[in-house]
């Protein structure tokens, strides 16, 4: 068990005894985050980004870590989420392994990693820890909270549990709860990890590590993150070349799609902690925004205190289908928020927000521009080097 922390990551200490929603206390916990741009004197240009399950806080390159971030094309000077204009904070989810306390973290007494002794984790815990970071940094109002995939769930939870903390919201490929298909896939992923003998009840190390289970879990995930239409267009039924002969004894790789999934899994396996994968995966399945309202997610959404929202979904998303994003938009609109719902026809499935910047970038930029018409600009600072520009009026 180990953590994978970008050198640009900063840390906010959680309260000495952080109460977890499902019971138990987390002592000596911390949350990893990174930040870019400079806040205005009034602190009215703050954006919080909440991530998908396995993403770090390294959303884009930073003076402390110039390597490309997971959303490099979207965040930075002159980009749709413009760090010349906005002070951007990205938080690593509590329970992850990129700087926030989780199963891979060392216990406060130094007696080794938590492993499966880490308290039961919920999306609500992720939301509470993220809100704590904002307040620890001295801020009390976000111009916008942006959530992607699991982060969209975390953002909805933050809005529900911390009313007044954010004035607007961008939801990308999110949901108020997981549907049976998504739960089934994640159940298979967890099963693949736990059935690997080297998982060893959560007590693995670098020598005995559940490589096969993690690889299978990642392959299952990648299959659902994109769409069948994309797989057809990219790979078809193309077989590997003669230099990669099919191994009849092991029923090894034969098609290019198999090689792609195998390579993707190999890059991931030793760069994310298996127990963290299990904890966050289960937290996604358990989350239900409408739980406090007898399962009525519409009522829960209508009670969220925000002025404006942008909700974007993709027709080809099989993990969080488009109708779930429409449900978010309609619920927020019923509560009086000014909402734009944008269904996109991208072939790239659930992960389209990561790769289809041409489709996602302009509406996000326009929405953010609509929030800043009266706010003065300031010189860029943290994680930003280019000079400020005048605001551009864009209709969203």
**Are 90 and 62 found together in one domain?**
yes
**Are 131 and 267 found together in one domain?**
no
**Are 172 and 314 found together in one domain?**
yes
Residue 389 lies in a domain: no
What is the distance, to the nearest Å, from the Cα of residue 174 to the centroid of all Cα atoms in its chain? 10
Residue 144 lies in a domain: yes
pTM attached to this predicted model = 0.91
Each residue's pLDDT expressed in tens, for the chain with a length of 396 residues = 788 999 999 999 999 889 999 988 999 999 999 999 999 999 999 999 999 999 999 999 999 999 999 999 999 999 999 999 999 999 999 999 999 999 999 998 888 999 999 999 999 999 999 999 999 999 999 999 999 999 999 999 999 999 999 999 999 999 999 999 999 999 999 999 999 999 999 999 999 999 999 999 999 999 999 888 888 888 889 888 766 666 666 678 888 899 999 998 999 999 999 999 999 999 999 999 999 888 899 999 999 999 999 999 999 999 999 999 999 999 999 999 999 999 999 889 999 999 999 999 999 999 999 997 544 444 344 554 333 333 333 345
- Boundary residue ending a domain (276, 308, 325): 276
The 10 Å Cβ neighbour count of residue 395 is 6
Nearest to 27 by CA among 13, 38, 17, 40: 17
Nearest to 183 by CA among 319, 296, 280: 319
**Are 264 and 354 found together in one domain?**
no
**Are 141 and 203 found together in one domain?**
no
- The strand ranges marked E within the chain are 10-13, 17-19, 25-27, 30-36, 46-50, 75-76, 81-82, 87-91, 144-148, 168-172, 308-314, 338-344
CATH number at 52 reads 3.40.50.1820
Bridge-based pairing of strands 30-36 and 10-13 is antiparallel
**Are 202 and 264 found together in one domain?**
yes
**Are 54 and 170 found together in one domain?**
yes
281 sits in which H/E element: helix 274-286
Catalytic machinery residues: 149, 317, 350
What 8-state DSSP symbol labels residue 376?
A: P
Bridge-based pairing of strands 30-36 and 87-91 is antiparallel
CA dist list (Å): 114 to 4, 196, 205: 16, 20, 13
For residue 237, the enclosing domain spans 184-276
Residue 72 lies in a domain: yes
Residue 379 lies in a domain: no
**Are 202 and 244 found together in one domain?**
yes
Question: What total of structural domains would you count in the chain?
Answer: 2
**Are 163 and 226 found together in one domain?**
no
Nearest to 172 by CA among 297, 295, 351, 335: 351
CATH number at 253 reads 1.10.1740.110
**Are 71 and 90 found together in one domain?**
yes
**Are 263 and 312 found together in one domain?**
no
**Are 214 and 257 found together in one domain?**
yes
pLDDT of 236 = 87
Q: 27-56 in b/e burial notation, b at 16+ Cβ within 10 A?
A: eebbbbbbbbbbbbeeebbbbbbbbbbbbb
């Amino acid at each position: 068990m180990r953590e994978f922390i970008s050198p640009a990551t900063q840390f906010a200490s959680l309260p000495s005894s952080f109460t977890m929603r499902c019971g138990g206390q987390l002592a000596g916990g911390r949350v990893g985050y990174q930040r870019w741009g400079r806040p205005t004197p009034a602190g009215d240009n703050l954006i919080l980004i909440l991530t998908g399950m396995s993403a770090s806080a390294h959303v884009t390159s930073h003076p402390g870590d110039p390597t490309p971030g997971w959303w490099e094309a979207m965040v930075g000077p002159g980009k749709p989420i413009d760090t010349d204009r906005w002070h951007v904070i990205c938080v690593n989810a509590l329970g992850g392994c990129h700087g926030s306390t989780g199963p891979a973290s060392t216990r406060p007494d130094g007696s080794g990693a938590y492993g499966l002794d880490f308290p039961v984790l919920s999306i609500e815990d992720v939301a509470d820890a993220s809100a704590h970071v904002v307040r620890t940094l001295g801020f009390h109002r976000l111009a916008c909270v942006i959530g992607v995939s699991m982060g969209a769930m975390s953002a909805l939870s933050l809005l529900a549990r911390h009313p007044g903390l954010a004035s607007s919201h961008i939801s990308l490929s999110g949901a108020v709860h997981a549907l049976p298909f998504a739960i089934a896939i994640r159940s298979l992923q967890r099963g693949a990890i736990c059935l690997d003998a080297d998982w060893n009840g959560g007590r693995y190390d670098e020598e005995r590590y559940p490589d096969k289970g993690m690889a299978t879990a990642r392959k299952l995930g990648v299959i659902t993150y994109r769409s069948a239409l994309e797989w057809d267009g990219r790979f078809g039924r193309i077989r590997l070349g003669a230099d990669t002969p099919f191994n009849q004894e092991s029923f090894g790789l034969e098609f290019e799609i198999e090689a792609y999934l195998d390579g993707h899994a190999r890059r991931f396996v030793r760069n994310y902690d298996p127990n963290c994968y299990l904890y966050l995966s289960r937290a996604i399945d358990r989350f239900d925004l409408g739980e406090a309202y007898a399962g009525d997610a519409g009522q829960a959404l209508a009670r969220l205190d925000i002025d404006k929202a942008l909700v974007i979904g993709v027709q080809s998303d099989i993990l969080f289908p488009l109708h779930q994003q429409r449900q978010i938009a309609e619920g927020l609109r019923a509560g009086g928020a000014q909402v734009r719902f944008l269904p996109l026809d991208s072939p790239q499935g659930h992960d389209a927000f990561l790769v289809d910047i041409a489709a996602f970038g302009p509406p996000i930029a326009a929405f953010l521009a609509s929030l800043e018409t009266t706010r003065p600009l300031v010189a860029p600072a943290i994680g930003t080097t280019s000079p400020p520009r005048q605001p551009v009026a864009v209709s969203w």
